[in-house]
Amino acid sequence: MDRLIDMGERLAGAFLAFVTALTFVSVALRYAFSWAIPDSYDLSRYFLGILIFWGIAASGFRGDHITVDLLWGALSAHARRRLDAFASLLTFAAMAVFCWAMALKVLDSYASGEATYDLTLPVWPFFLAAWLGSLAAALMMLVRLTRLAVGRAASGTAPAGH
């Protein structure tokens, strides 16, 4: 499972590197030569959406996301596990609904034939890649929830400094 998460993190990192390079080169070309890369804005925002969803999948599984531990830190280990399970259940439910809505967006963009402005690239493959990230996030939250329920995972990740 950790290898799968590592792959997702590498994928998100590659998309981030692509977005950063595309933005830098596009701005440099615009200011130096008054020329823009076709569809650079659309490509950067689609890839940014993809990397966000894949990043959510990795951070949700590992519990590396931002937490507020005012209550969590005062609880016993058993209560922490229960609170983590409850939070994971809520997060899974939200990600499942979001995944469903994103799937509808993929189907809608495919049916409409929506395309980028300059290169007329179809938009649905970008939405599909983002949907796969949201599906991975929902599945990773389900795995985390299952591990918490059977006691195989340590209770939540405490914020730095603990």
pLDDT at 64: 64
pTM: 0.80
Q: Is 126 a residue whose pLDDT tops 70?
A: yes
Q: Domain coordinates of the chain in residue numbers?
A: 2-150
The number of residues making up the chain comes to 162
CB 105 within 8 A of CB 131: yes
**pLDDT tens digits, residue range 10-29?**
877 888 898 999 999 999 99
Q: Is the CB of residue 99 less than 8 Å from the CB of residue 134?
A: yes
Higher pLDDT, 1 or 102: 102
